[in-house]
Chain A
Amino acid sequence: MKIGLIGNPNVGKSLIFSHLTGIGVEVSNYPGTTVDIRSGVSCIDYTSVEITDLPGIYSLDGESDEERLVRDLVLSNSFDVLVVILDAVHLERNLYLLLQVLEHHIPLIAVLNMADEAEKLGIHIDTKALSKITGVPVLLTSATLGKNIADIIPVAKERATTGTYQVAYDRHIEAAVRTLMRVSDNGPTRVQSLLALQGIGTDATLLEAAKTISGEMDEEHRMPVSSILAGNRHHAASEIKQRIVTKTPGRETFGLDNWLLKPFPGIPLMVGILLSMLLAVFFIGSFFEDLIVEAFEIWVLAPLAAASLDPLVYEILFSFIIAIQAGLGIAFPFVFTFYLLMSVVEDTGYMSRIAFLADRIMHRFGLHGQAIIPMVLGLGCNVPAIMAIRQIGTKRERHIAAFLITMVPCSARTVIIAGIVSVFIGIYAAISIYLIILALILLTGLVLSKVTPGTQLGMVLEVPPLRVPSLVMVLKKAWINIREFLYIAMPLLMVSSVFLGLIGFYGFLTVIENITAPVVHDILGLPPFSSTALLFGILRKEMAFETLVVLAGTANLPEVMTNIQLYIFALVSTLFVPCVSTIAVLYREQGLKTAALISLYTVFLGFAAGAVFHWLSLQGLLF
């Protein structure tokens, strides 16, 4: 049996999904966390049930990508049962979608989530009455507390029905639907006719007929059919709400937003929060880095050097250990700290507030506030950030956003900046790299907003209530994000480290170094061995650093490079070429042309910035 979880954004679908299937998926307190479908299997009573987490949607008639995706799945009967998840606190707005889903005549149950919050706010919902009105089973759950979650699948399996409720539309609409249901030979259903009136569907004759009718109605009502339908549905939803919801005065919660959303102190606070996040990553990360690296030197590397081994065996063992040292000791502390803080920010609901605050400035770059969300996500990893671009409006906006996000220094690049620049040169030098990148992003945005063709729509973004993040959820989420690093990046690093050690042992590395020397040495002023590190950085960004350590044969880089060389290396490797995963996701989401364009542009930027700094240092203008 196939079950689909459908509902408005940010109602807790993904959290329920992970409770039901045990699969850890991204759960965050802002709308639009899930952009792709994700399926998992749950076994109940010896039968397996396939459950699918869908992106949040506001309507089944909408034009946005995720709305289309979900509609196509629903229309193609991909699910045997739909579990419609609603936010009990904002029930009226959520009922709108339930009424729409009911039209599709697919067996369903309604789940009113966030029961805990509703209770706190003094909202009481008569689930029996709702069940009676709609004809479908209704459950009241709380995903964070796990309340009633276990009932969802049994109820969906045994009691899901198509419901009995039907929205009474405007009499013109009802007449049009009746006409349309007679028009086409294959007898379109009510919902097909309604969709056809909005230009959605595959049946050409039906669409043609619907177009004429909806044109007339448009003329008559002076608004598009979709707005009339929306108005009717909202009206129905509000009537149902009045019959089932009673509110006793509860806690008022607008307090903090008064501070966060005012220009003052909202904007200084936002800058402060983001900046202190960065600094915390630097300080906490480098503290643990010191500890771990030192421990490796004393307990593992020193004994290894002392135990006189066969040179080849030594080389292999050494590469292997130094890879673990670089991965666990250097990358892990920074990346983990970052994701921990990031999870806190995501779970509080501050992301949407950042979008609100940044809307104006983002307009200067041809974007809007919502685009800041993927950019902040990009500080973690560019890959999900680029997927999240789907959420923002038009092609033009996506194109610009893709460029800018790829330039945002992800946590892997933070590892490079923190691990090299902040540790060996100083915190101010590290911050200066961020400033350079920020300036380049702003410039790129300004230029792109001038040259990119297309339309711009602006932001309509729901701002969820502020929530206190729970420690367990934050840790879980940080773990989900870091898991990928441990399972994919670490093995990759170990293999390539041993590989590098071997080809170095047999002298192949010098060949590569000789070929790349003109660029790396003459233009960027870097030692020849760093070219290999730069190349490995394309695989995964932090590997540029780790490979540098491997190649240098020591984690104490100042022994082999000058400060300015370290600075240029960090700058070039953070700027130039996104990693392969980013290029791949760019290609998938934006097409070959954009992916190629962005890659070329960043290569150019990286080398240009490096060359400028090298030139400046030759003139004696630096440090």
Chain B
Amino acid sequence: MVIAEREDTLLSLMRQAKQTGLGGKPEDIACHTGLSEERVREILSDLEKTGEVTHQENGTYHLSPSGIQAAEVIMRKHHVLETFLQEMLGMDHELAHAQACTMEHHATDDTINRLRRFLRKDRGCQVGCPAFTGLPGHHGYMGHHGRRCAFKSLADCSNGDKVRIDAVRGCGRGGRLADLGLVPGERVTVKQRMADTLLINVKDCDIAISPEIARSVLVEVEN
């Protein structure tokens, strides 16, 4: 239990640092993690002793370099677990996220590495790009491996959607996409959808992309 609370606190600090660029206050962390404020303070002072956070005068806590590293390790664990639950076991996004949130604290590094290798094997282009089967038509996507990713891809977007790219699955056209500015974090507007072909706007340029390529771009809808 203690480990879980520690790690949640670290993650919460990390998230706040990413969002605001500032440190976190104990009350915010408590709000985030669902722990009591006293408990958070206890943990924070523990963490301070082990050198993972530093305490500022104004009452905020910051992650130290070693703290950042620790938080990144947990985040990676979380990511791997969540991907595994979603993609391999077909779990719902929310559920997978919740499960990964508890599992991340207990899985050993070895487990995570093995899982990652397992995922990687399946993640080759065969799955990432349905078109690689060489069969025409867009039905090949479902038929090929029989399950659908719970991630939202560009292909699921409709006219006028403004999205932010989460990840681009490596496949044949990955390089070209990256060169055109389709990199994680980039904002994209879907301008027009014709059948499943999309006209998107990236960096002020209009780009037409085929459905199978749109499917390899995972996005998060803004607004």
Contact = CB atoms under 8 A, between A and B. Distances in A.
B85 interface: no
A356 B179 contact: no
Interface string B166-189: 011011111111111101111000
A96 B183 CA distance: 13
B132 interface: yes
B154 to A, nearest CB: 12
A214 B192 CA distance: 37
The range of chain B's interface size is 35 or more
Interface stretch (A14-22, A147-155, A281-289, A447-455): A447-455
B180 A223 contact: no
B203 interface: yes
Given A62-B175, A64-B176, A230-B179, A363 B208 contact: no
Interface stretch (A35-43, A102-110, A459-467): A459-467
26 contacts: A59-B175, A61-B175, A90-B203, A93-B203, A223-B167, A223-B170, A226-B174, A226-B175, A227-B170, A227-B178, A230-B175, A230-B179, A231-B185, A261-B192, A356-B192, A359-B194, A363-B138, A366-B136, A396-B134, A453-B134, A457-B129, A457-B131, A457-B172, A463-B208, A464-B206, A465-B206
Which of B131, B137, B183 has the most chain A CB atoms closer than 10 A to its own CB?
A: B183
B182 to A, nearest CB: 9
Contact of B136 (A61, A227, A364): A364
Interface of B: 76, 79, 116, 129, 131-132, 134, 136-138, 167-168, 170-181, 183-186, 191-192, 194-197, 199, 202-213
B195 A263 contact: yes
Nearest to A364: B136
Nearest to A396: B134
Contacts of A96: 179, 181
Interface in A419-456: 449, 453-456
Interface of A: 58-59, 61-64, 89-90, 92-93, 96, 219, 222-224, 226-227, 230-231, 234, 238, 254, 257, 261-263, 266, 352, 355-357, 359-360, 363-366, 368-369, 393-394, 396, 449, 453-465
A262 B192 contact: yes
A356 B194 contact: yes
5 closest Cβ pairs, A-B complex: A458-B210, A230-B178, A360-B195, A359-B197, A58-B179
B213 A460 contact: yes
A460 B76 CA distance: 31
Contacts of B172: 393-394, 455, 457
Contacts of B213: 457-460
B126 to A, nearest CB: 10
B207 A461 contact: yes
Nearest to A258: B192
B211 to A, nearest CB: 7
A227 B174 contact: yes
B212 to A, nearest CB: 5
Contacts of B196: 360
Contacts of A356: 192, 194, 197, 199, 208
A90 B211 CA distance: 25
A387 to B, nearest CB: 20
Contacts of A365: 136
Given A89-B204, A90-B205, A462-B180, 20 more contacts: A92-B181, A219-B116, A223-B170, A227-B170, A227-B178, A227-B183, A227-B184, A231-B185, A257-B192, A355-B208, A356-B192, A356-B208, A366-B136, A369-B197, A456-B136, A457-B213, A458-B209, A458-B210, A460-B208, A463-B208
Given A93-B203, A226-B175, A460-B177, A352 B210 contact: no
B194 A458 contact: no
A63 B172 CA distance: 9
B194 to A, nearest CB: 6
Contacts of A464: 206
A234 B181 contact: yes
Contacts of A62: 175-176, 179
A455 B124 CA distance: 14
A369 B136 contact: no
Contacts of A63: 175
B114 to A, nearest CB: 13
Nearest to A226: B175
A463 B199 contact: yes
A231 B202 CA distance: 14
A61 B174 CA distance: 12
Contacts of B180: 58, 93, 460, 462
Contacts of B137: 363-364
Contact of B205 (A368, A449, A457, A462): A462
B183 A231 contact: yes
